[in-house]
Amino acid sequence: MQSLNIASTGMLAQQTNVEVISNNIANMNTTAFKRHRAQFQDLLYQDLRRVGSNSSDAGTIVPSGIQLGVGVRTAATYRVNEQGSLILTDNQFDLAIRGNGYFQVLLPDGETAYSRDGSFQVSQDGTLVTADGYTVQPGITIPSEAIGVTINESGQVLVKLDGQTAESNVGQIQLAIFQNDAGLEHAGNNLLLETEASGAPSTANPGTDGFGTLFQGYIESSNVDPVQEITDLITAQRAYELNSKVIETSDQMMATVNQVR
């Protein structure tokens, strides 16, 4: 009785769905987190009577045939790249991206990672770094004598020095975009890595065509919608229960057959 195996694949698929939803809910307050959705595909079909085959010597064609599905599988978990709300922090080193683009972060092993999390700080030598101390690329150093820092929408880092009227430009923040954002690999700590699926990044200054702009003193919030997640969770739970009901029904049918004398 194939219904037992079919229903089991459905339960496994909904278990994955619940795990994805739970991760979304857990990251409701994670800076710049993008919610995920599970995508499912049906499995191969059993052809008990192939559609389009000849049904007689006269050349008549079977119009529909008999195909029985054998279940479902998880095909992918894709990232929904909707813009999160911008939250005012008044921290001069907090940056939010409105539009497309990722900050570039230099990892300790020399690899470049990408992130939407712009909650930056300065290191002991004045370098702009992430919360984990990773350098924001290209490296920007804030002079220790600076009494004010301005980062405009185009990514220019301007500092005001004591005794000077005009601001000095000490660096330019650049953003990276990818042909396929969904192909980026999650590395944890709000970081993403380039893969063959994502393609190579294109970099440019914020505000350039196709690139977002920066907002100083803001961070981007998670785009998780609690109401939608709870709704999806209930739907997944009901689907899981229905699949378990199929297993229960199949077991009862098998028990009925066993009792036939």
pLDDT digit string (tens) for 36-49? 999 999 988 888 77
Q: What is the pLDDT of residue 85?
A: 94
pLDDT of 69 > 90? The answer is no
Q: What is the pLDDT of residue 90?
A: 87
**What is the spatial distance between Cα 219 and Cα 209, in angstroms, rounded to a whole number?**
22
In terms of Cβ atoms closer than 10 Å to its own Cβ (0-12, 13-18, 19+), residue 63 is exposed
Q: What is the pTM of this model?
A: 0.85
Chain-centroid distance of CA 158 in Å reads: 33
Mean pLDDT along residues 186-192: 93
In terms of Cβ atoms closer than 10 Å to its own Cβ (0-12, 13-18, 19+), residue 19 is middle
| Residue, of 66 and 86, whose pLDDT is higher | 86
H-run or E-run covering 9: helix 2-26
Chain-centroid distance of CA 209 in Å reads: 24
Mean pLDDT along residues 244-252: 92
Q: φ, ψ for residue 161 (rounded to 5)?
A: -100, 150
In terms of Cβ atoms closer than 10 Å to its own Cβ (0-12, 13-18, 19+), residue 203 is middle
Angle at 119 between CA 118 and CA 122, to 5 degrees: 110
Mean pLDDT along residues 158-174: 88
Mean per-residue pLDDT over the chain, rounded: 91
pLDDT band at 15 (very low <50, low <70, confident <90, very high): very high
pLDDT of 55 > 80? The answer is no
Q: What is the pLDDT of residue 161?
A: 86
Window from 46-60, 130-144, 234-248 with minimum mean pLDDT: 46-60
